[in-house]
Amino acid sequence: MASDGILKVWRKFDRFPMETLTKVWYFQKDTARKQREVSLMKEHYQQYGITGNCFDLALWLLHEFDQDGIEAYPVGHDLGTPHAHVAVIAMSEEGHRYFCDLGDQWLNPVLIDSESKNYRSDRLQGFFPAAEIQVNSEGSLLTVEYHRPNGKVSSQDFHTTPVAIPDFLKAAEISQNTIKDKPLLECRVPRGDEIAHWEFYNWNSVLSTTQGLFHETAAENLEQWCTRIHQRTGYDQQVLLEALHIYDSMR
């Protein structure tokens, strides 16, 4: 497990979804820049309960680490493209690297320094909702395998070389100006003795648990979707309705 300092910051984001609804809602505002400053994200969170996409979450997480004096930097893949994804690496007091991915809704940061005595390359529980993970860290390449309860295995590669902040912000601005036509929201949901994963994507919703997938009946209209998403996230329903209307117009 990560150090107390890293976990103290990470725990602030336990109830923060990752989503693109805020992106389209803010995209309609008359602003020159679409990547919000952390101060504005905090205002929106206080007013409406909304968070943002992986760039928003990484930027906010970096800010909180900095506030607590913890060295951290952004990493990512496919920056500047529609497939971009970013996360954060935080350094422990011993100088070990911990991979912190709010964008994919991880439960905990994971140690990625293979030379550390605490490094584990076997399958691990408690780091990702409804899946075991396996990390392989070689040089600047991190490979994460996700082992699902049904036997399905998927993987993701990250380059752990720090992304320079100007490059990160440039990629963030590109991402916030890239509007896809399918709405997405993912959040972590306490369920019994586990943390499950709820996803709303392309007008369908599903709950992923260690017992398998539970597909929910599609809502009949935007108002019902607003209610369902609000119940999962606490998001302001007017903001949800505005965002869903935008996505509905792109169908």
Can you give the pLDDT at residue 107? 98
Question: In the predicted model, what is the mean pLDDT of residues 66-88?
Answer: 97
pLDDT of 140 over the 90 cut: yes
Query: pLDDT tens digit string along 143-177?
Result: 999 999 888 999 999 999 999 999 999 999 999 99
Q: Nearest Cα to 185, choosing from 149, 146, 232?
A: 232
pLDDT of 64 over the 90 cut: yes
CATH 3.40.50.300 fits 4-249, yes or no: no
Query: pLDDT tens digit string along 179-192?
Result: 999 999 999 999 99
Can you give the pLDDT at residue 207? 97
Query: pLDDT tens digit string along 191-237?
Result: 999 999 999 999 999 999 999 999 999 999 999 999 999 999 999 99
Q: What is the mean pLDDT of the chain?
A: 96
Question: In the predicted model, what is the mean pLDDT of residues 225-251?
Answer: 98
Can you give the pLDDT at residue 218? 96
pLDDT of 6 over the 90 cut: yes
SS (H, E, C) 117-129: CCCCCCCEEEEEC
Q: Is the dihedral of CA 146, 196, 73, 59 positive or negative?
A: positive
Question: In the predicted model, what is the mean pLDDT of residues 38-49?
Answer: 99
Question: Which residue ranges make up each domain of the chain?
Answer: 4-249
Can you give the pLDDT at residue 79? 96
Q: In which band, very low, low, confident or very high, does the pLDDT at 1 lie, cut at 50, 70 and 90?
A: confident
Q: Nearest Cα to 135, choosing from 167, 168, 99?
A: 99
Interstrand relation of 153-159 and 194-201 (parallel, antiparallel or unpaired)? unpaired
